[in-house]
Amino acid sequence: MRLALALAACMACSSEISDKGQPAGQDSTHMNASITDVLARHTEDLMSIPGVVGTGQGVQDDKPCIIVFVEEKTDSLAQEIPSTLEGWPVRVDVVGEIRPLR
């Protein structure tokens, strides 16, 4: 059930955001990478961090952001997950353990 909810939340967030926007505080002369491209480049590394269970796109302070879904917030995760990726803000959401539905 949690997997379905997390995926639905991720899909809903992604559909609300244009990946052509620029990171907060950046204009197109300083940033060429769309949020979708940045997320694609960094998802494998983010998913290799113990406790990270997913990634997606969302909104933070009315601006596009990258979301990192975690089982629980810990000090080690806070140190390993960057606050920005290539200029895009990163938000950490606690979703708990994700298991496949049977």
20 assigned to some structural domain: yes
Alpha helix ranges (H) inside the chain: 2-15, 35-47, 75-80
Tell me: pLDDT of 3 over 70. Answer: no
79 assigned to some structural domain: yes
Provide the domain limits for residue 38: 2-94
99 assigned to some structural domain: no
101 assigned to some structural domain: no
| Number of structural domains the chain divides into | 1
pLDDT value of residue 23: 53
Q: What is the CATH number of the domain that holds 53?
A: 3.30.300
pTM for this model (two decimals): 0.71
In this structure, are residues 82 and 58 in contact, taking their beta carbons and an 8 Å threshold? no
Q: Which amino acid is at 69?
A: F
pLDDT 10s digits, 16-64:
444 445 555 544 433 568 999 999 999 999 999 999 999 999 999 999 9
Tell me: pLDDT of 98 over 90. Answer: no
